[in-house]
Amino acid sequence: MAYQPNNNRYKNMTYRRCGKSGLKLPAVSLGLWHNFGEIDSLDNARKILRLAFDSGITHFDLANNYGPPAGSAEETFGHIFKDDFKAYRDELIISTKAGWGMWEGPYGDWGSKKYLVSSLDQSLKRMNLDYVDIFYHHRPDPETPLEETMGTLDLMVRQGKALYIGISSYSASETEAAMAVLKQLGTPCLIHQPKYSLFDRWVEGGLLDVLGNNGIGCIPFSPLAQGLLTNKYVKGIPEGSRISRHRGNGAIEEDAITEDKIAKVIKLNELAHSRGQDLAQMALSWILKDPRITSVLIGVSKPEQVSDSIKCLENISFSHEELEKINSILS
């Protein structure tokens, strides 16, 4: 049946300004790294995307290599976009990336102009789009001159194939260097996409300051540490969970479940309950408490996880005592 979006979709979502730009993003955005590949259920993917948009999630995040196989998440998205979302293109912020290995030979990886230009052209075809809203360089390239990589991002904007550009997993100093080159070219860096969660706080060691001081937005990925920051692994590895599926390509594996981690999860769960939240909600709220964060980038395997996680917005403030408690649990 033809998709008819919820008329109240903008009522309950918060939209936060992305750094000093004109763009606002939903406080919760949806990533398609897992569960949208060719091997996954198209019906489930469609349900998730429809529910997300119905809930005010206007930002969908992809990358050339999401699947499996690589490229198939963009194809799934393109298929559903054509059926359901084409009429709403101007209500959507769609991002993609390149920077990790995508095809054989010397031109399908890292940060050369040759790779990035070809990759974006491929992504646009797979997604049935004329342009993406945000194109990211997916990881720093130690060998390609920064001027070449950033110059390519600037070119994409000038060609109208991307409206804004971003970088992912660049360190604080790499971000400063990239930002300076981009500024000279006249295309500001809109946003940074770093890994950030209660279990991985590296961005607090300088990156968040660089972003905040320079008006660059921040959209953390894997905010639930790929599912570890929920109660799902407390009693073992449930069937169907990300760990049980052994997807490789950076997906969480059994060795992430340690006694120490589970002990922390149990304590964090108790604290979340005392705030009227579940752990997933508290872990997301905890990231959003910082005004330098534009949006939190969730992944889901089921529509219910969208509904559950989005409730994090009901309580994003933390008392001093709660923050101290979290720090002592994590220490």
For position 232 contacting ligand NDP by CB under 6 A, the verdict is: yes
For position 224 contacting ligand NDP by CB under 6 A, the verdict is: yes
How many CB atoms within 10 Å of residue 169? 19
Residue 178 · residue 189 · CB < 8 Å: yes
For position 193 contacting ligand NDP by CB under 6 A, the verdict is: yes
Closer CB to ligand NDP, residue 314 or residue 324? 314
For position 297 contacting ligand NDP by CB under 6 A, the verdict is: yes
For position 298 contacting ligand NDP by CB under 6 A, the verdict is: yes
CA angle 92–102–82, rounded 5-degree value: 30
How many CB atoms within 10 Å of residue 80? 22
* Helix (H) or strand (E) run with residue 151 in it: helix 146-158
Distance CA(65)–CA(123), nearest Å, equals 10
Question: One-letter amino acid identity for 296?
Answer: V
How many CB atoms within 10 Å of residue 202? 13
For position 305 contacting ligand NDP by CB under 6 A, the verdict is: yes
For position 192 contacting ligand NDP by CB under 6 A, the verdict is: no
For position 123 contacting ligand NDP by CB under 6 A, the verdict is: no
Distance CA(258)–CA(302), nearest Å, equals 25
HSE of 162 in the Cβ direction (CA atoms, 13 Å)?
Answer: 27
Return the residue of 37, 108, 217, 227 that touches ligand NDP, per CB under 6 A.
Answer: 227
The minimum distance between CB 156 and ligand NDP, in angstroms, equals 17
Closer CB to ligand NDP, residue 153 or residue 324? 153
How many CB atoms within 10 Å of residue 12? 12
Return the residue of 19, 67, 217, 223 that touches ligand NDP, per CB under 6 A.
Answer: 223
For position 154 contacting ligand NDP by CB under 6 A, the verdict is: no
Closer CB to ligand NDP, residue 144 or residue 226? 226
Distance CA(162)–CA(126), nearest Å, equals 15
Q: Binding-site residue total for ligand NDP (CB under 6 A)?
A: 29
Return the residue of 40, 61, 74, 109 that touches ligand NDP, per CB under 6 A.
Answer: 61
Residues of the shown chain interacting with ligand NDP in the complex, contacts defined by CB under 6 A: 31-34, 61, 138, 168-169, 193, 221-227, 230, 232, 241-242, 280, 297-301, 305, 308-309
